[in-house]
């Protein structure tokens, strides 16, 4: 039916029609699936987390596959119910030497807490991590810096549980203890140090941005946001919301540089909790503090809490740490931030009540056993 020359040419110049056909077919399937999702909706179940008054669109949809996936560190967390004192038992301070904290515990509860801290912080090294490889009679010595730091951290934990209830227990009673940050590691993950200039090709403001860093959450935003807002009490603010305002950079005047640094901090907070901006802010009135969600206040308390943790508890330990535990640039003490506890979840350890079995860490006074 076709001319001989055409048949001859086709036989001598074969063409692969299957490759293009597969490509076109795959593209067609992708377009069909995309159209289906747009019309019908995505097939995976979600749960909306209500973050503000109903009817205002203030909610955060979460995939059930992510929302219901347990934090793997919860299952391996060690806990043990306390021994309820009957009264009259000798106290740890009367039995052991140099017990500066937790001395009002009975011997059984004191040893119980010590074993738990060992499991939470140094499961591989055991008691020797703080006390050294010495006889039990020498455990009262303060020869190792780890013991001095641990004592300070116990006091810090008690202070957080006692004085920062508005942040820690904003939704329900959960508390904090050593495992909240350490998760079985000597040094908690997601600590941070001062960085200084990160862009050697520039000076001034440009020297702290346009380089991907951990502090800026792998963006080119300013790398000194944690230092400014979680250590130096910097004012979290953005530029003037009015256009063409006759203002010049000065004290109290927020510039675009302040805005970029604020964005860097907010990006860090979002990643730390695994949420987006509208978890705290009203998307239709983003800058109006009268229309924010309740979580905004909880976060502001958290920032104040971290400022206290860093300045009153962590930075003063700089002279206690050995050089290898200090920052690589300024030899500064390790510091905490939101991700140190939250690690990508709205609540650390997904809201597990970690203080229920540990009333000894819930107060600076004598524990209340129930």
Distance CA 265, CA 109 (A): 41
47: which strand partners? 62
Answer yes or no: is 58 a known binding residue.
no
φ, ψ of residue 211 in degrees (nearest 5): -140, 130
Answer yes or no: is 195 a known binding residue.
no
Alpha-carbon dihedral of residues 366, 123, 167, 54, nearest 10 degrees? -130
Task: Say if residues 332 and 323 touch (Cβ distance below 8 Å).
Answer: no
Answer yes or no: is 1 a known binding residue.
no
Answer yes or no: is 244 a known binding residue.
no
C-beta pairs of 238-241 under 8 Å, 24+ apart in sequence: 238/262, 238/287, 241/287
What DSSP character marks residue 311? I
Q: Which helix (H) or strand (E) element contains residue 124?
A: none
53 in helix, strand or coil? coil
Cβ contacts of 6 within 8 Å, gap of 6 or more: none
Task: Say if residues 144 and 177 touch (Cβ distance below 8 Å).
Answer: no
φ, ψ of residue 91 in degrees (nearest 5): -95, 160
Q: Which helix (H) or strand (E) element contains residue 49?
A: strand 46-50
Q: How many CA atoms lie within 13 A of 95 on its CB side?
A: 15
Q: Alpha helix (H) ranges present in 189-345?
A: 225-230, 256-273, 294-308, 338-342
Answer yes or no: is 127 a known binding residue.
yes
Answer yes or no: is 305 a known binding residue.
no
Q: How many CA atoms lie within 13 A of 58 on its CB side?
A: 20
Answer yes or no: is 258 a known binding residue.
no
153 in helix, strand or coil? helix
62: which strand partners? 47
Answer yes or no: is 178 a known binding residue.
yes
Chain center to CA of 247: 37
Answer yes or no: is 156 a known binding residue.
no
- List, as residue ranges, the binding site for heme: 114, 127, 130-131, 153, 167, 178, 181-182, 266, 277, 280-281, 338, 341-342
- List, as residue ranges, the binding site: 114, 127, 130-131, 153, 167, 178, 181-182, 266, 277, 280-281, 338, 341-342
């Amino acid at each position: 039916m076709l001319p001989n020359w055409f048949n001859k040419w086709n036989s001598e110049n074969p063409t692969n029609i299957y490759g293009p056909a597969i490509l076109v077919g795959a593209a067609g399937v992708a377009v069909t699936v995309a159209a289906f999702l747009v019309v019908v909706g995505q097939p995976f179940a979600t749960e909306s987390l209500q973050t503000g008054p109903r009817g205002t669109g203030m909610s955060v949809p979460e995939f059930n596959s992510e929302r219901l996936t347990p934090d793997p560190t919860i299952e391996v967390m060690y806990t043990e119910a306390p021994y309820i004192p009957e009264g009259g038992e000798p106290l740890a301070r009367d039995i052991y030497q140099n017990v500066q904290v937790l001395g009002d515990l009975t011997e059984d509860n004191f040893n119980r807490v010590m074993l738990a801290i060992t499991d939470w912080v140094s499961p591989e090294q055991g008691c020797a991590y703080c006390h050294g490889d010495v006889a039990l009679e020498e455990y009262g010595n303060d020869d190792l810096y780890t013991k001095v730091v641990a004592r300070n951290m116990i006091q810090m934990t008690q202070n957080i549980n006692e004085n920062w209830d508005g942040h820690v227990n904003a939704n329900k009673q959960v508390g904090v203890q050593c495992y909240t940050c350490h998760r079985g590691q000597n040094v908690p993950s997601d600590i941070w140090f001062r960085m200084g200039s990160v862009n050697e090709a520039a000076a001034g403001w440009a020297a702290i941005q346009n380089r991907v860093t951990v502090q800026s959450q792998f963006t080119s935003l300013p790398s000194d946001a944690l230092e400014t807002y979680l250590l130096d009490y910097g004012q979290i603010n953005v530029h003037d919301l009015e256009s063409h305002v006759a203002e010049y950079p000065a004290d109290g005047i927020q510039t675009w540089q302040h805005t970029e640094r604020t964005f860097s901090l907010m990006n860090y907070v979002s990643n730390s909790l695994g949420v987006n901006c509208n978890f705290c802010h009203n998307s239709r009135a983003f800058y109006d503090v009268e229309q924010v969600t309740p979580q905004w206040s909880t976060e502001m308390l958290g920032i104040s809490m971290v400022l206290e943790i860093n300045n009153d508890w962590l930075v003063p330990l700089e002279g206690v740490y050995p050089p290898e535990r200090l920052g690589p640039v300024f030899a500064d003490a390790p510091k905490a931030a939101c991700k140190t506890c939250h690690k990508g979840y709205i609540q650390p350890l997904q809201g597990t009540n970690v203080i229920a079995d540990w009333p000894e860490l819930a107060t600076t006074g004598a524990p209340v056993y129930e």
